[in-house]
Structure 1
């Protein structure tokens, strides 16, 4: 069996952070059933440009492989009835909504424990389910500013700068996955579920780590560093070469000794100003110009050919294309493929989560409501008459024709297997 093959997650998720968290669980074999609101066309990620058409987008593919989809209107009594049938046969209800919404729509543990005492309700929100910002919408960009990340990022004389990736969203998704698994472990041990109150704000603040500790205990004020330099270890930063940029880091004294040998500058090793971490940091205004001048004398490839054999931490500063083509990327199997009815073969990056020796299987992201029949009959346990009654009462929205319009062949093939 796959590591999480016996786990069923009902996911009221959308866009990036929430789907990113459950993606890794789905890759590990968990049955992740996406609940998509038919009133708004499902997960908004289906419509993110520029690479998409109708309800298909490569953005959505990146966050939703190996999942199932059910269109369900939770605002209707009929939709709620179906949802509760799903909860009774699930392990986890997972969501990423505004902090006050889980309680409003009744997806907290107190709302659901009568259906399933062991249900784990994991809510990834912007600011958490308590506190003065509870009702505020939380987005990665906003959180990077609020938590001090943007003030720390960029060149000293430049504007506050966002990371090139949505790191608060992605980190929040991973934190939520950890919380979900911990809650599930406890629920299976004790027979009692719980709420997991996870937020992007808590995640962003928690990742301030040692600069926060330094500030809280010693009044340290973080400052931006030139060329992305480490705040205390010198040298550890980006250096410009004759034809590009590379990163070189002396995180241990032995690396500094080796770097001096590569440069062929034995006098540096004897210079008291550069004798250890503290002295190099104190005299960095002298040392760094010397290093920068030296690095400009050769190309990045020439430097890497000297630094790598010496065991000095270093790397070229790649663009995305170069990173994806790196031989180590290939060796680690980090680009995977799925087949899609519109896009054909879709390549994307694999989950970094590895458990055991079994390789994950990869299935494209679901079309909206693609797994209707399977979910409502096998998971919710509904019969034909019940399904028609609930459909008439608006549980599933007025969506089937729209869903089949984009990919009738897929839905016909799905129906043929029933």
Structure 2
């Protein structure tokens, strides 16, 4: 890689770039505005992000030097980190002491939060990557951020579901994954395999060499007891829950008389086929999982089945809470939730008065507009994923590149960057190619820039972050290797214990279905009226809260006016096509019409509390003191920064259940990575297996890790509530979104640990199938799976004749030849033709701003019925007074005082009105 050189900084702007422009206050103001939306109009923010120097755009020949704090990871000599040092003399009027540099405008005294801190100023890593820590290392500060330790005298660690008996009749992926999750949480899961064994024992990961049993089977069935079907029907009387993939819940489970008692959870594909590729096509996922050229790409592995299994595990606990006799989950319904970010916008448009209006579709797409730099960049030893999600991400990465000129290059300002992305990529590729993944990732963490590494399964086996969190465990019993242990950390969950896989039928002698139960089975309480406090953003955490709301919980979402959720996309009233309320200027903005926000926050109440103010933090403490559940989906240290972490911790012993769900968990050396879906795809093994086989890696446009983490968050809450119902104490579960994604790709970890190789990237092919893929037709795309031995219907030959035929013609011909095929569905068309309504997969809800719109429903049926319709998502600050009075007993006078102090009730400010000339120039890309 050549001689050593600074990672960050050092480059000077090139002559002739926009940073050298001269001329007038108006031009300088326009340059700031072009950089990045609102950030371009905030020179103070730009100074903090781009480092010291003259103000941005301050005249001819102006140069922005590389930030000293980032250049070598150290503050300039004499600089004070926050406030004055103890004993230092006060500043002299008119300036600062000689040789001293004033602290940044946003700095505060040590120990007091600095809300707009741009970067974590840690020492630069040594050349070659971050500092190595031994496996199992625990940061001394982790006790403030992760779950609290158990107090002396508490019972042995067994898991919140200890004592729950689960009988698993399901085979394949979905049902067994549900069983594996319940076993991770302490349940006793007995798998009764059919004669010949579960077919998953032979399931190929990628068609390459693998030892028996299949890594898929090992991953899904480690930690269970394995018996044969001869234990039936006595085992049905033993079980509290039965996991099945056979007939509906009202039909017989096995030959013989029906048995009353256990909750039966049935999980099926929901279609006439059980081919993974075809379910992905029929669900509409492939219509949104496309590259820049519009080519669909299959999700790797068995994602429809994994996601359905996670919902099935949550449905089991929800059914126990309800006292239901049965529950049903479909792969198809689960997969619809995988792309709810896009699906919400598609359904909003389809159910509007203007379903064919492109402007309506563009508005409803919300925050999902394209940004750059993004995607996958090759580096010296693999690939990395630069994120440009927040306004400051572009500025921070330019500082890391040592290119302070780039934000002012007119080719790469917000309005033009996507159009010129190939030019920008050419500028940046040499910088990436000269550095390793670890160097780039550590520099991004230090700078506060959202970026990630692309980790393979083999990388995960030696990754210090996953090792420090104890995510992987050794396998014992029928096979060796390593397997995922669990994606949650909690003092009530065992750590560092090998996971056992029995031989076929190896637990038959152990299993005694007539053995008396030592104690009642744990089950969550009825959720009606249960108080859930939600401190979340975007998708994963809100999905957890919404599901709890559909079960009857009183979910209260906490927001603040000066930092609204980015998914509350603002819209001007005159653009919405709905009546403008009396007294409202049509040019004003509303934050209450976003398709994504309104979809994910149905069934909740919304309050505005500013935790950055002392009085607002006190209100939050009071809310926590009366809540049953707290769901936190923000940065790993948000509770510490707000000064409420210890208050929350004390409430756990009282009975509070806390689930935190940052991207990489609350502990470990990578915990400060920003939590965005495309970054988690890289860190969670998805990007390494997604995309065309010829590509080194790719990311999807779907933000899929949020959907995965959200349902695993539901499961964590319900399990902890079941444990609380038994022993009376709360729990604190630290969920890692990275680890939940690895769980749904866990067969790759087993393969890498046993075979020493990574799973192959299969593109659209089904593993172990002679021929399969996705082909373009004259009016769409068709997915097909051909299991006929010796078939000549290769993807290339099918694509050759399908291109000139309609989708209907291609389907007819393939099916006539005995090939399974499905059209790549479009969600808007499926809504328009009534298919989704008939299947109970959508509901229509009246919203006070957006009107009556369609939304996806949870893919769970309890006792044969869908979960009840939800009330609309809350308006900003809609329920503040109501909740403070109901939950806390605050009187109107106290609430008025809090509002006057802006501790509660703050709302987003209206944006500055654009001039006619500025509006005419436009900001589209």
Please indicate, yes or no, whether the TM-score normalized by the shorter chain is above 0.5.
yes
1:186 and 2:694 correspond: no
Taking the TM superposition and a 5 Å limit, the aligned residue runs for 1:18-29 are: 18-29=541-552
Deviation at 1:75, TM superposition (A): 2.1
Give 1:344's aligned residue. Answer: 851
2:768 paired residue among 223, 232, 237: 232
330-339 or 294-303: bigger deviation: 294-303
- Which residue pairs with 1:412 in the alignment? none
The 3 A distance-change label for structure 1 pair 334 and 398 is closer
SS, match of residue 45 in structure 1: coil
Contact 1:94 1:123 in 2 (8 A): yes
User: Residue 39 and residue 311 in structure 1: after superposition, are their counterparts in 2 closer, same or farther (change >3 A)?
Assistant: same
Structure 2: state its 5+ residue gaps: 1-320, 323-525, 577-588, 911-925
Any idea what SS the aligned residue of 2:622 has?
helix
SS at match of 2:878: coil
Contact 1:48–1:60 under 8 Å retained in 2: no
Asked if 1:383 corresponds to 2:883, the answer is: no
Q: Which moved more, 1:140-149 or 1:287-296?
A: 287-296
- Correspondent of 1:288 among 788, 791, 794: 794
Local SS of the residue matching 1:163: coil
The SS at the match of 1:152 is: coil
Counterpart-to-counterpart distance in 2, 1:290 and 1:134 = 45
Structure number with bigger Rg: 2
Q: Deviations over 1:390-410 (max 9, x none)?
A: 4444421554998xxxxxxxx
Asked if the contact 2:607–2:877 (Cα under 8 Å) also holds between the matched residues in 1, the reply is yes
Q: Could you tell which deviates more after superposition, 150-159 or 160-169?
A: 150-159
Match of 1:43, SS state, is: coil
1:45 is matched with which residue? 567
Query: Aligned partners of 1:322, 1:171: CA distance in 2, in Å?
Result: 26
Aligned mates of 2:615, 2:769 — CA distance in 1: 60
Task: Select between 27-36 and 299-308 the one with higher mean Cα deviation.
Answer: 299-308
Contact 1:100 1:134 in 2 (8 A): no
> For the residues of structure 2 that align with 1:400 and 1:246, how far apart are their CA atoms?
45
Q: Answer whether contact 1:127 1:201 (CA < 8 A) is retained.
A: yes
Write the distance in 1 (CA, Å) between the matches of 2:641 and 2:779.
Answer: 57
Maintained 8 Å contact 1:88/1:115 = no
Comparing 348-357 and 360-369, the one that deviates more: 348-357
Change (3 A) 1:116 1:400: farther
Give the CA deviation at 1:233: 3.0
| Post-superposition CA distance 1:112-139 (Å, at most 9, x none) | 4348610011101011111001122121
Cα shift at 1:349: 1.6
Match of 1:362 among 870, 877, 880: 870
Equivalent of 1:353 in 860, 868, 871: 860
8 Å CA contact retained: 2:688, 2:698: yes
Change (3 A) 1:300 1:115: closer
Unaligned runs of 5+ in 1: 251-255, 261-268, 275-279, 281-285, 403-418
Please list, as runs of the form range in 1=range in 2, the aligned pairs for 1:58-207 lying within 5 A after superposition: 58-106=595-643, 108=645, 111-114=648-651, 117-158=654-695, 160-207=697-744
Matched, 1:55 2:591: yes
Measured at CA, do residues 394 and 164 of structure 1 come closer, stay the same or move farther in structure 2, by a change above 3 Å?
Answer: closer
The structure-2 alpha-carbon separation of the partners of 1:306 and 1:327, relative to structure 1 and needing over 3 Å to count, comes to: farther
1:30 is matched with 553
Tell me the C-alpha RMSD between the 2 structures: 3.3
Q: Higher relative contact order by CA 8 Å / sep ≥ 6: 1 or 2?
A: 1
1:319 corresponds to which of 807, 820, 826? 826
Identify the structure with the greater helix proportion: 1
Deviates more, 1:358-367 or 1:63-72: 358-367
Distance in 1 separating the partners of 2:900 and 2:822: 61
How does 1:192-341 map onto structure 2 within 5 Å? Answer: 192-226=729-763, 228-240=764-776, 244-249=780-785, 256=787, 260=788, 274=790, 288=794, 292=798, 296=802, 299-302=806-809, 304-305=811-812, 313-325=820-832, 328-341=835-848
- Please tell me whether the aligned partners of residues 775 and 799 of structure 2 are also in contact (alpha carbons under 8 angstroms): no
Q: How does 1:405-416 map to 2 (within 5 A)?
A: none
**Cα distance, 1:345 vs structure 2:** 1.3
**What residue in structure 1 maps to residue 311 of structure 2?**
none
Partner deviation per Cα, 1:287-334 (whole Å, 9 max, x = no partner): 736863797497542454476699965311123333444654221122
Count of matched residue positions in the alignment of Structure 1 and Structure 2: 370
Displacement of 1:97: 1.0
Q: Deviation per CA, 1:26-57, whole angstroms, max 9, x where unpaired? A: 222221101112332x3232126798742122
> TM-score normalised to the size of structure 2?
0.37
